[in-house]
Amino acid sequence: MRLSFGTAGHRGVAVVLVAILLLSTVTGVAAAQSVQGATGTIVVEEGQTVSSVNALTGSIVVRGTVTGDVSGAAGTIHVAEGGRVEGSISGAAGDVRIDGVVGGDVSAGSGNVQITETATIGGDVNVGAEYVRIDGRIDGDVRVGAETIVLGPNAEIGGEFRYDAAQFRQDPEATVAGGVVEDSNLRGNVGAFTLPNWVTWGYGLLANLLLGAILLALFPTFSTRLAGRVSEEPAKTGGVGLLTLVGGPILLALVAITIIGIPLAILGAIAFGLTIWAGAVYGQYAVGAWAIRRAGRDGRWLALVVGIVGFAILGAVPVLGGFLVFGALLLGLGALALELRDSFRTRRRSGPIDRQTTFDESFIDSSMGSSTERTTDTQ
């Protein structure tokens, strides 16, 4: 997942995001040969050497040596005087302070960035922040977007200094070999960094579990019938899912042809995107339901966890994982479309269903020939 931060509005989002993420961490100290994961505080102590730091954490402090890169999201990222990062620094943080040595690039979205007079950076600096002060040595180019930028008297820039700021101050003693250029095109295009894969994977897993839980809690009868339909009619539901996936954008394009239809098309596109997400979650849930029944187990919540977690793991498998996840999407989207159609028809004929369908009944109902028969069984 690639994020970028430019001027104040973008940077504000970054800082809020970091603050929210930090609320979920647990206070503690972690230091190891390779640090990766979510924790409270990571400290590389003086005299200690680690290969890399890749984490979602409260603080990252480097007093020793990191032979690789430092990346992630944190409240504070600090390379202390005497600390050394031989690779690059990439991340989002409330505060970034460099007093030591960074061999590679520095790319960050932050509230405040300070590169002090004792700092040395061997690569480029690409920063989006609220306040930036540079008073150290940078061998490469600098691209900065901020509300306030200060070049101190000890600043020594080996390349070009390109900036966008509401306030910019350069000390007469500061040296910039490549010249100073004001560039309003930097807005929104600085401070880019890539979140670790495990962060995006975990976020997707939790989001799908949350949506699945909401769907099962709000629509238990509908959800269990849908799972039964996928179990009994996989070919039909998959085919309908493919038609829905292809036909939806075509229908939206036809609606958007007229000026009056443009607002409707926009709303429809949003609804269609949410429908695809719900279809993907329902498809994974339905496959999970089928799997646990084959194993002699029961329960919609167990089916949800097995389906979502199972496909999250399978999705990490190159090529094959993508096909399997896409197949679950087609199954869920098709079953969702068919159940919505049948529910609409049933309500027009006989009104709402009074009793919830049980998990077992969903598989019995799905073998019936019509939606009317399934409704009769549940009453």
Give yes or no: residues 364 and 255 share one domain.
yes
Give yes or no: residues 201 and 325 share one domain.
yes
CB 241 within 8 A of CB 332: yes
Q: Report how many domains make up the chain.
A: 2
Give yes or no: residues 300 and 284 share one domain.
yes
Structure tokens at 154: 């000890």
Listed residues 175, 193, 211: the one ending a domain: 193
Give yes or no: residues 172 and 231 share one domain.
no
The rounded Cα 220 to chain-centroid distance in angstroms is: 28
Distances (CA, A) of 323 to 202, 317, 326, 351: 20, 10, 5, 39
Exposed/middle/buried for residue 202 (C-beta within 10 Å: 0-12, 13-18, 19+): middle
Give yes or no: residues 149 and 204 share one domain.
no
Beta strand 65-66 with 84-85 is parallel
Give yes or no: residues 144 and 212 share one domain.
no
Distances (CA, A) of 91 to 24, 66, 94, 294, 319: 18, 15, 10, 45, 29
Round to whole Å and give the CA distance between 306 and 340: 25
What is the residue range of 242's domain? 197-378
Give yes or no: residues 88 and 22 share one domain.
yes
Round to whole Å and give the CA distance between 18 and 268: 32
Give yes or no: residues 220 and 180 share one domain.
no
Give yes or no: residues 298 and 207 share one domain.
yes
- pTM for the model stands at 0.49
Residue of 48, 108, 271 lying closest to 61 (CA atoms)? 48
Structure tokens at 57: 């954490």
pLDDT tens, position by position, for the chain (379 residues)? 444 444 444 444 344 344 434 333 333 333 335 555 445 678 899 999 999 988 776 789 999 999 999 987 778 899 999 999 999 998 888 889 999 999 999 998 888 999 999 999 999 999 988 899 999 999 999 999 888 999 999 999 999 999 999 899 999 999 999 999 998 877 555 544 445 566 667 778 898 999 999 999 999 999 999 999 999 999 999 999 999 999 988 887 787 776 566 677 778 888 888 999 999 999 999 999 999 999 998 899 999 999 999 999 998 888 888 899 999 999 999 999 999 998 888 777 665 444 444 445 444 444 444 343 333 333 3
* HSE, side-chain direction, 13 A CA sphere, residue 53: 37
Give yes or no: residues 352 and 250 share one domain.
yes
Give yes or no: residues 165 and 71 share one domain.
yes
